[in-house]
Structure 1
Amino acid sequence: MGKRHESIGIKQVIRFEWMQKTVNLLLAGLDAKKIRQELHEFLADKKGNGSKGERSDQTRTFAVNNLMKIWVSPESELMPLRDASLSFMRENSSMALAVHWGMISAVYPFWFNVARQTGRLLALQEQVTQMQIIGRMKEQYGDRQTVSRYAKYVLRSFVAWGVLKDSKTKGCYEKAPVLCITDGNQAILMLESALMAAPEAKGILRLLLNNPAFFPFRFPEIAGDFVSRHNSRIEVVRYGLDEELLKLRD
């Protein structure tokens, strides 16, 4: 699982409607080759900032590759999560944003980690700055120019998805209203995505439910027994008086 956790992967803004288009093509039964072709046509005149205009072949290809890797052809270890997420999406289209968040977090842990740093700061203050978040990301990934540039793309993606709002000050963000997750099965899928995003592939249930990377959402109360009954890919280990550890099965 190491390579996925060390790489950044997201080299431009990924808009929510692009993710939705990809899933709709997948649900329509198109094969990977046809989906790739359709996405190239769909993105031919769509830019990351939401405006219309001609894009270079390179930037369009980067976006298509991201979308394909998230939903159409993720790594083999992510396929069970992808299939379960797709099945859930088929029956619960109104909760698409949360499902997309889970998949992109699992495939690109860099997204999850930008979200985690953003959520941590928002728990302490009303507004966060781009530079605060980037500073924390450099502590984790190293002081590389690419970290700064690509973290900005993820933050702009958050704004495009509507989970962050631009403040009156440039490079400063405010939290948007949270989305309540009421379906326990969806909550478990998102917990699984968090385990996939973690190099150690495990975490304490209580902390996962309150992980700052899920700052746009509010989860229901979930017990380890419920997780065990509804997801065979996650093992629940109890220790201490009331702690429950979740870990991905080998």
Structure 2
Amino acid sequence: MMGKRHEAIGIKQAIRFEWMQKAANLLLAGLDVKNIRHELHEFLSGRKGNGSEGERSEQTRTFVVNNLMKIWGSPDPDLIPFRDTSLGFLRENPSMALAVHWGMISAVYPFWFNVARQTGRLLALQDQVTQTQIINRLKEQYGDRQTVSRYARFVIRSFVAWGALRDSEAPGCYEKATPMSITEPNLTILMFEAALLATPEAKGTLGLLLNSPAFFPFQIPATTGDFVSQHSERIDVIRYGLDDELLTLKAG
């Protein structure tokens, strides 16, 4: 179940929220994979990474289209059930789109999840966080590769574009934006599943998942292991100790 995607970085350009919306909407409209890819190329041909209009090179456009296809259009086979559930939730709850897209991109590209986790950890300790601080922590995990620094910057800029971080007055320094409240319990379960898919071990305690720094842009309500086990076909809940519950992805 787990494999290369946990070691890969993959995100080679900033990914804007509205581009994620476009990809999901094309899927919701019933287009096939070939037509979704074509429509995304057309859509992005006149849009730059900062959201402004203007030509971008075919190579950078292809990077973004490939990312969007891997997230929504044609994810890895083991991620399709999660994609389908996320898409169904998005159809019924369009106001919760930010959290759905965050979960989806985290599952497909665990690098996004890990950049978010390091960002969230730092923001729990201080009011502002610098790009350098985030990247230094990522290098401890991925090694001191130049690609880590470069691609992490794309993810951090994506966080700003999504409204999860705000630019501060100092260049390369960011502040936390007002968190979005998750009010739908089933969305909480989807976010737990995203975290498990982004984790090589595919398991985590309920307490750690509820308070995951990777979900720093959101306020996740308290829930119980019983609720999760009753409402998820893909998560097992294992009780151990007096009040600890371990969530794991079901095999198969």
**TM-score of the alignment, normalized to the shorter chain, above 0.5:** yes
**Alpha-carbon offset, residue 72 of structure 1:** 1.0
| Helix, strand or coil at the partner of 1:165 | strand
Q: Which runs of 5+ in 1 are unaligned?
A: none
The CA distance in 2 between the partners of 1:51 and 1:170, in whole Å, is 20
Question: TM-score, length-normalised on structure 1?
Answer: 0.99
The CA distance in 2 between the partners of 1:95 and 1:66, in whole Å, is 21
**Alpha-carbon offset, residue 243 of structure 1:** 0.4
**What residue number does 1:216 align with?**
217
The CA distance in 2 between the partners of 1:51 and 1:19, in whole Å, is 16
**What residue number does 1:99 align with?**
100
The CA distance in 2 between the partners of 1:207 and 1:139, in whole Å, is 21
**What residue number does 1:25 align with?**
26
Question: TM-score, length-normalised on structure 2?
Answer: 0.99
The CA distance in 1 between the partners of 2:97 and 2:183, in whole Å, is 13
**Alpha-carbon offset, residue 232 of structure 1:** 1.2
Q: Give the % identical residues.
A: 74
1:142-157 superposed matches below 5 A: 142-157=143-158
> For 1:18-76, what per-residue CA distance to the aligned partner results, in whole angstroms no more than 9, with x for missing partners?
00001110000000000000000000011111111111111000000000000010001
**Alpha-carbon offset, residue 175 of structure 1:** 0.2
**What residue number does 1:111 align with?**
112
1:157-236 superposed matches below 5 A: 157-236=158-237
| Helix, strand or coil at the partner of 2:171 | coil
Give the letter for the 2:16 counterpart.
R
| Helix, strand or coil at the partner of 2:170 | coil
The CA distance in 1 between the partners of 2:130 and 2:63, in whole Å, is 27
Give the letter for the 2:185 counterpart.
G
What do you get for the CA RMSD once the two structures are aligned?
0.5
Give the letter for the 2:80 counterpart.
M
| Helix, strand or coil at the partner of 2:125 | coil
| Helix, strand or coil at the partner of 1:55 | coil
The CA distance in 2 between the partners of 1:49 and 1:87, in whole Å, is 29
**Alpha-carbon offset, residue 2 of structure 1:** 1.9
Number of aligned pairs? 250
Q: Which runs of 5+ in 2 are unaligned?
A: none
| Helix, strand or coil at the partner of 1:47 | coil
Give the letter for the 1:66 counterpart.
N
**Alpha-carbon offset, residue 191 of structure 1:** 0.3
**What residue number does 1:126 align with?**
127
The CA distance in 2 between the partners of 1:71 and 1:43, in whole Å, is 16
> For 1:105-131, what per-residue CA distance to the aligned partner results, in whole angstroms no more than 9, with x for missing partners?
000000000000000000000000000
